[in-house]
Structure 1
């Protein structure tokens, strides 16, 4: 949900990786993708997606959502390498946890003052990316598109993506 790391795909400026993630849920519905991507904040993009989830999400969403989130995070890093790396590295060796009021899958729920409980998949993905950065194992400069059916933005295939320098083009 951290804003301030823009992404550009097929000429489209996307303000947040959350908007990109939510848009990937609807590859067959470019109008819904546009509405989501037009939102200025990550939470607004998430809320714009909500009314369409049950009836219009891609059929394989539950199977692909983790891979799509990881791809979105890698894309965020590729296009904001210095800033996003600095953000992740500032967490040092700490666990990264999304404290959530409702979602024990992506985050963790408060049990008491000292305990959170949940799968914290988003936090695990971020920690994994941080460790790859520290080890120098992050693919430099490019993120390949996912090899899944209908990986589209506005009806167009999502291509191999590169560094932020491509945002100026």
Structure 2
């Protein structure tokens, strides 16, 4: 079975970068993983702040897609790691999200974004699904961490 998500209003919408789960990285709070991801495209700290402080993830996305401000030269090389950091921080900050992600078992997780062939599956499902891959990586990390904690608890008894 495959678990698909896209809209924050539907099942597994919590996995969306637009889902309202705040977290802190480097002492700065981000309202959503979309806010963090879009802000990190830029070296201009004032523009990063503008994106971080905007009210909605949709506006953050719009600001991040603007090319009025120069994006970082290494963006294509670092964007997957930036997304991984955002998703990891989001899930580590919220126990309910960890439980939801772990409850997906071994299922394949797919961002059902019809127009996104990089982060999502694309209209014809031939996309790279990087956001789904990252979610499955984080799920594995959480599972591994739980196992280590359980092993330590068992050893101390």
> TM-score range with shorter-chain normalisation?
0.7 to 0.9
1:77 aligns with 2:95: no
Q: Deviation digits for residues 105-140 of structure 1, max 9, x if unmatched?
A: 1111122xxxx2111011001011112212227999
Q: Which of 117, 124, 134 is the matching residue for 1:104? A: 117
Task: List gaps (5 residues or longer) in structure 1.
Answer: 141-169
Q: Secondary structure at the match of 1:56?
A: coil
Aligned alpha-carbon RMSD (Å): 2.4
Task: List gaps (5 residues or longer) in structure 2.
Answer: 1-16, 150-157
1:34 aligns with 2:49: yes
Following the alignment from structure 1 to structure 2, what is the Cα–Cα distance between the partners of residues 22 and 138? 34
Aligned residue number for residue 88 of structure 1:
101
Match runs of 1:47-86 below 5 Å: 47-52=62-67, 56-80=70-94, 82-86=95-99
Q: Deviation digits for residues 21-44 of structure 1, max 9, x if unmatched?
A: 111111x21221122112233232
- Please list every run of at least 4 consecutive aligned residues from structure 1 whose deviation after the TM superposition is greater than 6 angstroms: 137-140
Aligned residue number for residue 138 of structure 2:
129
- Structure whose residues are more often helix by fraction: 2
The normalised TM-score by structure 2 is 0.73
The normalised TM-score by structure 1 is 0.69
Q: Select the structure with the greater relative contact order (CA < 8 A; seq sep ≥ 6).
A: 1
Distance 1:138 1:39, change over 3 A: farther
Distance 1:69 1:138, change over 3 A: farther
Following the alignment from structure 2 to structure 1, what is the Cα–Cα distance between the partners of residues 19 and 132? 16
